[in-house]
Amino acid sequence: MNLEQLPIRILKVTHKRAIELELDEEFINLIENELSKREFKRKVRLDSIN
């Protein structure tokens, strides 16, 4: 599954629902890793602007 193509808003909703529905831990971890990666990239971009 290519999570890079999904908007962050969709990833956050999917993560919330996956936890509520007690889906596969591996799937939840994939989403969490993608969210972490995007938050890190965002932080790097913000730090470079300042």
List the chain pLDDT tens, one digit each, 50 residues: 688 899 999 999 999 999 999 999 999 999 999 999 999 999 999 999 87
What does the pLDDT read at residue 31? 96
As a whole number of angstroms, the distance between CA 30 and CA 36 comes to: 10
Query: What burial class does residue 21 get, using C-beta atoms within 10 Å of its C-beta: 0-12 exposed, 13-18 middle, 19+ buried?
Result: exposed
Residue 19, pLDDT score: 97
pLDDT in the model for residue 49: 85
Q: What is the pLDDT of residue 8?
A: 93
pLDDT score for 3: 87
Residue with tokens 């730090």: 47
Q: Global pTM?
A: 0.81
Supply the DSSP symbol for 22: T
